Structure 1
């Protein structure tokens, strides 16, 4: 289990969560939901601070929306209290962070890649776990030419700081995170399975274990045909010994549920633990 002791990261995450919830609340109906129980029955009321009106059962959607508002407002207050507490904390109070400031201890800790399984690897610490024996292979792998996906070039319209131009904002976010973690990768590199060409969104070289891991982001799962095609692709990967949770990372989104940075980063943390015995590419 990982607990993030990086105070600045926690403060940033809480601030983002508060901002997100507040942006939702401002678009919800005015008023406050009050509920009263009468035996097995419940009644809903709308209060505007001065007057109270009954919400009829046929207006259940309004009651449900006001329930969401009440929940979000409570969560905002909870997170504001947490934020105030963390802002009072001094990073020097965190003993594990003090240990990492000792370069000799840090070097000893990160000399053994297996230790990464048991440590919350923030972006900075993860780089220390890179296995130096793989660096020549990584350098060669990154310098090699490879076949790109040439289909629908007009969809490549999201430039990234890495220099890649990708097909969606979600892919741009993944590209950015991979760069921040220092994970070597290729975008839409051809992969042959039973003489059929596939183009995983990202092909990653794990600098800890030396294994190749593939990342597919399925961004239109509310489209029935797209969803069916995604299922078929996943089955093809499994048949080719590319297994979800082992050497295949998958993320999904629908129109009302876009990929979040929290989910994408959690997938990278999960990926860091994939230190099995698969051979590095040659």
Structure 2
């Protein structure tokens, strides 16, 4: 769900600026480290020659050259490291400069602003390369599906949906409060670990990160102090992994027991980390 397509063309979600800024921060840390190391480095530069297939080392300080004996191993290594650090520093500064120019001049554009800048009548005649996030979220949310049959539990979310537990109310209401689209008990096909057959499961919540346009499954395991339930939960998690769902990538799970109920603050943190 993180690709925008039209007639065979595709653009991935534009993360160039965030990735560039991350790289800039990493480069700057290394630049600072290298500069610190060079300040501590011995004076002069290292020059190597060979005589009778044996390496000979010279130290150059200004216009003065001096040979370094085998006993000067520590100094030779320090000067070699200094030369390497100097070349590395120059290249990393060059990379930093290029990325700085990119960040200052690049404006991410997958076509949404251009599409929205056109009049309503024109937009009605156009198939856009990419629809705006809000329209994409509405389209995703509008999908009709047949969920799992649920009797009237009397447990309602803020949106008026009937759910199976108070913990599911907490999760649903956090998602709604953060504007995260979700589908309750949306069906997914999972591959069994010990066989090739597939099993239909109704995941507690299937959520959409609107910014990245990526789907996440959120399962809540609410009776982890029950041995049989806990064993079934482990099997279910393994089935998700076997089907390409991995924790933090496109899968989230929470759990609780009688003594350790669901922590609503943790639900908030998980939702903000992966879904906003």
TM-score by length of 1: 0.48
Which of structures 1 and 2 has the bigger CA Rg?
A: 2
Q: TM-score, normalised by structure 2?
A: 0.49
Higher helix residue share: 1
